[in-house]
């Protein structure tokens, strides 16, 4: 098991949340702790949701392996995925980009081409940003979305007994990344799909709206850091625990990759036990993987699925939150 | 004169603006090219303005010379200064912070303490953000502000014959920075003030509102990259040229520092010839430095002030835009 030598990301976010205090009387109806902040303007019929996500060279992409178009696409897709998780529609984005000395005009144009291709498809206006220089390329994107007043899907709305669901299959991005690291590239069809999953993630905007309007999901979030860590976060916000079985595994990926691999950008959501959740949405499978339970907030138990690799995911044992944490050393 | 080997910042921003296209039908009423983007929500009586600014280790601050509290203060002050330039009131901010391995919990706490001290004073709620890791510390802050519908101060509103004004005195931050670089620190009183100007810039929020409500300024922007470059930007957006005399110089600073030094965060604004602009606002001098003129858009002429250093600012000659540009090599 990996050691926790430095304060974890969750711990750091909690510290900042305490320092910041409650956002009283400002129009901010939901602050730190969800996929997006929610802002309510006087007189407006819609709430605005805001998210910000960084893309860092050598953390989220590499100059050698990622085309600039893919880096630009991914930078925006990360934030759009948070908008999808709230059941919102994207409106505009602001892009801050710090350029390393190696990033020439050609690279910058490619980056914006990839970003704007996704932005146009999802009707997201590039409204502004900041340009600067740094030792490594670094991008931070804010997206503003809108959602009918009081109707945003949040992490804190799940109740005991609610079913837990995921869209698609998990572990594909982790598989794609591992193939990238391997010296012998796998040229099979499934491998291509996994690489595509890693390079060009698909934000589930239409699914998010469907979950809000039709399914009336009780809580939702996107899977950016791995199911084990993200479900823990949803449980913490809803002050519940969860019991799950094995999630749907991306073809070729391992159960470990599906449980702990990050950057799948599928949606994790909960719905009332009585809700009939369809098996697919626009061809994308929606799979029930477990149930929200009373119990120690944040605890996730893996049941009915034993891992071949043993210690990490013992049958019926608490699932350690091994998803991606920037501040945990391996 | 410095050479322009790589594409300039203005050139890059123009390219991105062309790639992005016009923000039609999205609620975005002003996109790339001003201090803030402007967003108008259906039914709302106020417009929202958005700005984003990066603070990069070894570009905007140094680990050795800047206390974490000062880095946090400065990170937010940069964005608040853009809000001030629109005549808006800040509402909330989102903070993305990528941490280098050296940045321990103590540093992070100090950073947020400095940031939140300014945020509380200016009634700006910390509503969310992102945490990540990188080789060097990097912070990107988005601030949302509000302003009565259609009343934001923009860069493109100046007309020929309008007076050009600046608040305060210029060159202080450049002087403070140069003292930092010097091996023999200047311990005089003026030197302390210059260092303070560099380390803890003051966003002119109250002044911005005053300019919008009482002075009815025709255009405004903040001085972040130096008067010569920033006034050129205002002229380009308003499609005019400008003739100015020497601006008020910060005690101890040179005329060159006042003309081209960045990070003063004073306001540059224009007002109708007939407008009576008071000589001070809350003790801060407001000084007329010139007049907007028809002519080649973006051209700035320095009149009535000769520099001792010659070539840079010859009397009556066009003033080269030598302010801070991330992409120009010295």
Which of B37, B129, B136 minimises the CB distance to A52?
B129
Residues B168, B115 share a domain: no
Prediction ipTM score:
0.81
Element holding A193 (H helix, E strand) = helix A189-199
pLDDT in tens, B31-41: 787 778 899 98
- A192 assigned to some structural domain: yes
Question: Global pTM?
Answer: 0.84
Residue A298 near residue A232, CB atoms below 8 Å: yes
Q: Could you tell me how many residues make up chain B? A: 330
Q: Tell me what pLDDT residue B314 has.
A: 45
3-class secondary structure, B98: strand
B316 is written with which tokens? 């009556």
Residues B179, B97 share a domain: no
Residues B308, B192 share a domain: yes
Residues A280, A188 share a domain: yes
- B9 assigned to some structural domain: no
Taking an 8 Å cut-off on Cβ atoms, the answer to whether B126 and A39 are in contact is no
Specify the CATH number for the domain of residue B283. 3.90.650.10
Cα-Cα end-to-end distance for chain B: 9
Q: Across all residues in chain B, what is the average pLDDT?
A: 86
A281 is written with which tokens? 């949405």
Report the C-alpha gap between A21 and B112 in whole angstroms.
Answer: 12
Is 90 exceeded by the pLDDT of residue A314? no
Q: Which residue has the tokens 């809803």?
A: A238
What distance lies between CA B268 and its chain's CA centroid? Answer: 9
Residue B88 near residue B49, CB atoms below 8 Å: yes
Look at A25 and A174; give whichever has higher pLDDT: A174
Number of domains within chain A: 2
Report the C-alpha gap between B227 and B315 in whole angstroms.
Answer: 17
Specify the CATH number for the domain of residue A47. 3.30.1330.10
B99 is written with which tokens? 């941490």
- A319 assigned to some structural domain: no
Distances (CA, A) of B73 to A24, A130, B181: 22, 19, 21
Residue B275 near residue B219, CB atoms below 8 Å: no
Is residue A178 exposed (0-12), middle (13-18) or buried (19+ Cβ within 10 Å)?
middle
Is residue B27 exposed (0-12), middle (13-18) or buried (19+ Cβ within 10 Å)?
buried
**Mean pLDDT on A61-68:** 89
| Beta-bridge mates of residue B159 | none
Residues B129, B176 share a domain: no
Chain B hits for A134, CB-CB cut-off 8 Å, are 56, 59, 136, 138
- B28 assigned to some structural domain: no
Is residue A93 exposed (0-12), middle (13-18) or buried (19+ Cβ within 10 Å)?
buried
For residue A94, give the nearest of A71, A137, A49, A125 by alpha carbon. A125
Question: Closest chain B residue to A23 measured between Cα atoms?
Answer: B125
Is 60 exceeded by the pLDDT of residue A300? yes
B57 is written with which tokens? 């280790």
Chain A hits for B140, CB-CB cut-off 8 Å, are 52, 54, 96, 130, 140
Which residues, at least 6 apart from B64, have a Cβ–Cβ distance to it below 8 Å? none
pLDDT in tens, B60-106: 888 988 899 999 999 999 999 999 999 999 999 999 999 999 999 89
End residue of a domain, out of B148, B183, B209: B148
Q: How far is A132 from chain B (nearest CA, A)?
A: 6
Residues of the domain holding B73: 33-148
Chain A hits for B105, CB-CB cut-off 8 Å, are 7, 12, 15
Residues B169, B117 share a domain: no
Phi, psi of B158, rounded to the nearest 5 degrees = -70, 145
Residue B153 near residue B85, CB atoms below 8 Å: yes
Phi, psi of A260, rounded to the nearest 5 degrees = -120, -10
Q: Where are the beta strands (DSSP E) in chain B?
A: 28-30, 37-39, 46-56, 89-99, 125-133, 138-148, 163-167, 219-222, 241-244, 267-271, 280-281, 284-293, 300-302
Distances (CA, A) of B16 to A122, A131, A145: 19, 10, 22
B256 is written with which tokens? 């060159």
- A304 assigned to some structural domain: yes
Residues A111, A170 share a domain: no
**Mean pLDDT on A229-238:** 93
Q: Tell me what pLDDT residue A144 has.
A: 95
pLDDT in tens, A190-202: 667 888 888 888 9
Q: Tell me what pLDDT residue A25 has.
A: 66
Residue A144 near residue A92, CB atoms below 8 Å: yes
Report the C-alpha gap between B212 and A328 in whole angstroms.
Answer: 49
pLDDT in tens, B237-282: 999 999 999 999 999 999 999 999 888 999 999 999 999 999 999 9
Taking an 8 Å cut-off on Cβ atoms, the answer to whether A26 and B92 are in contact is yes
3-class secondary structure, A86: coil
Residues A104, A71 share a domain: yes
Residues B187, B111 share a domain: no
Residues B126, B192 share a domain: no
pLDDT in tens, B94-121: 999 999 999 998 999 999 999 999 999 9
End residue of a domain, out of B122, B148, B174: B148
Report the C-alpha gap between B137 and B20 in whole angstroms.
Answer: 29
Cα-Cα end-to-end distance for chain A: 9
| Beta-bridge mates of residue B286 | B167
A144 is written with which tokens? 């503003």
Residue A51 near residue A32, CB atoms below 8 Å: no
Q: How far is B155 from chain A (nearest CA, A)?
A: 14
Report the C-alpha gap between A260 and A257 in whole angstroms.
Answer: 5
Chain B hits for A127, CB-CB cut-off 8 Å, are 23, 28, 31-32, 37, 39, 50
Residues A160, A144 share a domain: no
- A223 assigned to some structural domain: yes
Element holding A95 (H helix, E strand) = strand A89-99
Taking an 8 Å cut-off on Cβ atoms, the answer to whether B98 and A28 are in contact is no
Phi, psi of A127, rounded to the nearest 5 degrees = -100, -10
Report the C-alpha gap between A36 and B129 in whole angstroms.
Answer: 9
Chain A hits for B23, CB-CB cut-off 8 Å, are 92, 125-127
Q: How far is B174 from chain A (nearest CA, A)?
A: 19
Taking an 8 Å cut-off on Cβ atoms, the answer to whether A26 and B123 are in contact is yes
Element holding A157 (H helix, E strand) = none
Chain A hits for B46, CB-CB cut-off 8 Å, are 41-42
Element holding A87 (H helix, E strand) = none
3-class secondary structure, A28: strand
End residue of a domain, out of B148, B181, B196: B148
Taking an 8 Å cut-off on Cβ atoms, the answer to whether A132 and B98 are in contact is no
- A15 assigned to some structural domain: no
Q: Tell me what pLDDT residue A4 has.
A: 31
B134 is written with which tokens? 């990188």
- Among the residue ranges A72-76, A301-305, B22-26, B42-46, the one predicted with the least confidence is B22-26
Residue B77 near residue B70, CB atoms below 8 Å: no
Residues A166, A124 share a domain: no
B interface test, pick of A91, A140, A152, A263 with most B CB neighbours within 10 Å: A140
User: Alpha-carbon torsion B62, B67, B68, B71, what sign?
Assistant: negative
- A86 assigned to some structural domain: yes
Which of B15, B54, B144 minimises the CB distance to A96?
B54
The helix-helix angle for A172-181 and A189-199 (nearest 10°) equals 100
């Amino acid at each position: 098991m990996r050691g926790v030598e430095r304060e974890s990301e969750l711990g750091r976010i909690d510290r900042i949340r305490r320092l910041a205090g409650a956002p009283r009387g400002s129009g901010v109806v939901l602050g730190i702790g969800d996929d997006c902040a929610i802002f309510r303007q006087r007189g407006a019929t819609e709430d605005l949701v805001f998210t910000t996500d960084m893309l860092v060279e050598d953390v989220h992409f590499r100059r050698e392996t990622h085309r600039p178009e893919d880096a630009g696409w991914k930078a925006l897709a990360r934030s759009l995925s948070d908008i999808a998780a709230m059941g919102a529609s994207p409106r505009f984005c602001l892009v801050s980009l710090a350029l390393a000395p190696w990033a020439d005009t050609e690279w910058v144009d490619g980056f914006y081409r990839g970003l704007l291709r996704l932005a146009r498809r999802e009707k997201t206006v590039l409204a502004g940003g900041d340009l600067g220089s740094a030792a490594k390329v670094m991008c931070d994107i804010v997206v503003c979305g809108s959602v009918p007043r009081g109707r945003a899907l949040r992490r804190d709305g799940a109740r005991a007994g609610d079913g837990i669901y995921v869209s698609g299959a998990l572990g594909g991005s982790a598989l794609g990344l591992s193939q990238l690291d391997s010296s012998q590239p796998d040229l099979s069809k499934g491998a291509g799909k996994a690489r595509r999953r890693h390079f060009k993630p698909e934000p589930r905007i239409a699914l998010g709206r469907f979950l809000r309007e039709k399914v009336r999901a009780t809580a939702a979030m996107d899977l950016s850091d791995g199911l084990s860590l993200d479900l823990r976060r949803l449980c913490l916000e809803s002050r519940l625990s969860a019991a799950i079985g094995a999630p749907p595994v991306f073809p070729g990926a391992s159960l470990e990759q599906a449980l702990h691999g990050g950057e799948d950008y599928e949606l994790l959501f909960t719905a009332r036990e009585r809700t009939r959740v369809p098996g697919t949405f626009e061809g994308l499978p929606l799979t029930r993987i477990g149930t929200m339970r009373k119990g120690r907030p944040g605890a996730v138990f893996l049941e009915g699925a034993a891992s071949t690799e043993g210690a990490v995911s013992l049958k019926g044992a608490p699932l350690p939150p091994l998803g991606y944490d920037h501040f945990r050393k391996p």
